[in-house]
Amino acid sequence: MKSSKRRILTAILATVPCAALAQALVTERSISTDAAREAATAAQAQCRKGGHHVTVTVLDRFARTRVMLNDDGSNPHSLEHSLRKAYTALTYRTPSGEYGKRAVANPTGIGALHLERITTAAGGLPIRAGNELVGSIGVSGSPGAPGSPAGSGGDADAACAQAGIDHIAAKLK
């Protein structure tokens, strides 16, 4: 009798250390430098088709800059703005333009606008492998529609960012 109780107790205790160790470490997937480069290049190529000179920034899951492509003829502010768009998309796990719409709808409830690197402009998109966030991409520099304010080309920027994600989509599975 004592022998069987001892075996059961030993079996239970053998599983406890494994469970404790599993909770101490976290493994999260992140976009590789090669995939980030491919996405950025594809996004830049899409914007060039429209005659736009942009900057593209790709961040990994941990908000580290993997790639930043600054096209010939792009505006100086597009470096910072593409980073802010990518950072906003990563932080809020939603397109930066969607975050911007929420901020406009509820300006008193969005204290995050005072945080560094947050923007309300469209052009930043999260990059996912299935449902898992693995990075983000931000594009800045497309002009807006005729008659629109300068720097309001967020929809074109977002389309270019989506082209970058679409280019690497098969590798994200």
pLDDT band at 24 (very low <50, low <70, confident <90, very high): confident
Tokens 């720097």 locate to 151
**Domain annotation covers residue 100:** yes
Q: How far apart are CA 150 and CA 112, in angstroms?
A: 24
pLDDT number for residue 150:
47
* Predicted confidence (pLDDT) at residue 9 exceeds the cutoff of 90: no
The pTM (predicted TM-score) of the whole model is 0.82
- Burial group, residue 110, by CB count within 10 angstroms (0-12, 13-18, 19+): middle
pLDDT number for residue 109:
62
- Which residues have CB under 8 Å from 4's CB, separation 6+? none
State which residues form the domain around 141: 33-172
11-25, 45-59, 88-102, 105-119 — which is least confidently predicted? 11-25
- Taking the alpha carbons at both ends of the chain, their separation in whole angstroms is 52
> For position 59, which CATH number holds?
3.30.450.150
Distance of CA 12 to the CA centre of its chain: 42
**Domain annotation covers residue 39:** yes
1-10, 122-131, 146-155 — which is least confidently predicted? 146-155
Q: The sheet that has 55-60: what strands, in order across it?
A: 65-70, 55-60, 132-140, 124-129
Q: How many domains does the chain have?
A: 1
Tokens 């920034």 locate to 57
